[in-house]
Structure 1
């Protein structure tokens, strides 16, 4: 039978509260009594519950992470970045997804109410921003890993440079002589879509080659819609010598459609994506893309939250980690 705190208290002839104070270093204790309790702990081989000790200290040493789904192509990079930081500081991670919609959020809300974790990292599931902001306003420490450029300063956040990343893609395409780009966007409701659209278009406009509306195709970050956008453009007679996609998955779909219709990549059409997910190195040809620092964003969010636990205020403005540009054979 496992040794309990009650067994230690009985052998040392003290209360369980006194044993707890010895374990947690709280309260003023007679040193002779404390030494006797420690000796009994050693004698009996008592190992206190880590959860009980942490709760007694007012901490769980657990951080929660709320994400839309683990199936997103770059999600593993963000989670791994956060886990690397948390595990190094001996914190655990409690992971919540929203795969089951409202049922998932109810389960998450129950854990919030039970104070099962010290703080929260968030990649916002669509439609939950107001709820998350309310939890923050009520005092739950949190950091948003803002992949969509839309939290508007309500919550401490880690973001990247969507606008300048798209601008880098445009400058690269201009440098290799591509003056008629087709742009396949992300969902219109996401802030990052507008940022990427504006950043790309601004560079082309400044160079004297504005991107006409007929060459802007509304997408949704999926492979199939990336391919369909190419077929629609060709069917409509739109001339283009490059494609800029707002993510790598739709870029892969666009590349497949180009090859199916006899276009050579990059000789006839150069293709650029956004994200730099692991798949980007393995498309045919390998995809030139804007690298989102997803692992670094996860690391930075976890560090900010742990620093807050030690007394450092959470940042009151977004922390920005710049995107970079990776050139491969598709351009």
Structure 2
């Protein structure tokens, strides 16, 4: 049977409250009594519950994280960045998904009410921003990862979507690509609007405004990239490049081009966004705007834990820049 605090109290001849005070360093306990309790703890091999000790100290040493779903292509990279920091700092991680709508949020809210964690990291599920903002205003430390354009009243960690898309435009222009097909994400997302604006601005500044017929709204899936390319090929709409708003839809575009006998990059160059491990394993390997996903998760976790230790939360967003990875889909050897 596991050793309990009651066992320690009985062996030491003190109350459970006294043992708790020794464990938590709260309240006055005579030095000889404290020494006796510690000796009994050592003799019995008692290991106190980290959660119980944390609650007694007013902290759980657990970080909560709320995400839409674990199926998002880049979610694993963000989570790994968070987990690396949380583990190294001796904290636990309590993960919530929002795959069941209101039911998921009710369960999440019950954990907030139970004070199961000290602070919250959020990749915002749709429709939850007002609720999360309210929690923050009531005192829960919150940091948003990948602020998709809402600019809430609490700290966030994000990347340079517009600048990354401009880099993609510059790269394609340097390779002589004048009629790019753009497969966007969902327009309601701020990242989609920023990527489209940056890419369009890059071409407009070169005197080559994007043809509206070459802008197709997608949903960040493999099928949306594949179907967009198939449709334009069937309609005989000419294009010499594809800029997809994520790597998965870019992979779908590559598949459609290969099925149609179009050579990549000789006939059509293809660029993705995110630079996930997938990008290095497509055929041909995919040039992509690298979104610093793992770094974003790590920085958000480090900032939150520093705040729990007494450091004020930053008053402005933390921005980690994108970079560009060149591979064979645009002509790299």
TM-score range for the pair, normalised by the shorter chain length: over 0.9
Residue 66 of structure 1 aligns with which residue? Answer: 66
- Deviation, structure 1 residue 299: 0.3
- Deviation, structure 1 residue 172: 0.3
Helix, strand or coil for the counterpart of 1:71?
Answer: coil
Residue 85 of structure 1 aligns with which residue? Answer: 85
- Deviation, structure 1 residue 166: 0.2
- Deviation, structure 1 residue 327: 0.4
Q: Distance in 2 between matches of 1:86 and 1:272?
A: 34
Distance 1:59 1:241, change over 3 A: same
Q: Is the 8 A contact 2:226 2:255 kept in 1?
A: yes
Q: Distance in 2 between matches of 1:82 and 1:202?
A: 34
- Deviation, structure 1 residue 122: 0.9
Q: Distance in 1 between matches of 2:200 and 2:46?
A: 66
Deviates more, 1:212-221 or 1:29-38: 29-38
* C-alpha RMSD of the superposition: 1.4
Deviates more, 1:279-288 or 1:3-12: 3-12
Matches within 5 A, 1:232-243: 232-243=231-242
- Deviation, structure 1 residue 128: 1.3
Helix, strand or coil for the counterpart of 1:330?
Answer: helix
Residue 127 of structure 2 aligns with which residue? Answer: 127
Residue 110 of structure 1 aligns with which residue? Answer: 110
The unaligned stretches of length 5 or more in structure 2 are none
The unaligned stretches of length 5 or more in structure 1 are none
Q: Is the 8 A contact 2:133 2:152 kept in 1?
A: no
Residue-by-residue CA offset, 1:25-56 (whole Å, 9 max, x unaligned)? 12233212222222232333332222211111
Residue-by-residue CA offset, 1:160-184 (whole Å, 9 max, x unaligned)? 0000000000000011111111111
Deviates more, 1:195-204 or 1:207-216: 207-216
Q: Distance in 1 between matches of 2:261 and 2:10?
A: 83
The size of the alignment, in residue pairs, is 330
1:316 aligns with 2:308: no
Helix, strand or coil for the counterpart of 1:81?
Answer: helix
- Deviation, structure 1 residue 155: 2.4
Residue-by-residue CA offset, 1:264-301 (whole Å, 9 max, x unaligned)? 10001000010111111111111100011100011001
Residue 185 of structure 1 aligns with which residue? Answer: 184
Residue 296 of structure 2 aligns with which residue? Answer: 297
Q: Is the 8 A contact 1:272 1:287 kept in 2?
A: yes
Helix, strand or coil for the counterpart of 2:329?
Answer: coil
- Deviation, structure 1 residue 103: 1.6
- Deviation, structure 1 residue 74: 1.2
Q: Distance in 2 between matches of 1:162 and 1:16?
A: 56
Deviates more, 1:33-42 or 1:173-182: 33-42
Residue 43 of structure 2 aligns with which residue? Answer: 43
Distance 1:153 1:100, change over 3 A: closer
Helix, strand or coil for the counterpart of 2:18?
Answer: helix
Q: Distance in 2 between matches of 1:7 and 1:220?
A: 58
Residue 280 of structure 2 aligns with which residue? Answer: 281
Q: Is the 8 A contact 1:119 1:140 kept in 2?
A: yes
Q: Is the 8 A contact 1:247 1:274 kept in 2?
A: yes
Residue 52 of structure 1 aligns with which residue? Answer: 52
Residue 16 of structure 2 aligns with which residue? Answer: 16
Q: Is the 8 A contact 1:153 1:317 kept in 2?
A: no
Normalised by the length of structure 1, the TM-score is 0.96
- Deviation, structure 1 residue 214: 1.3
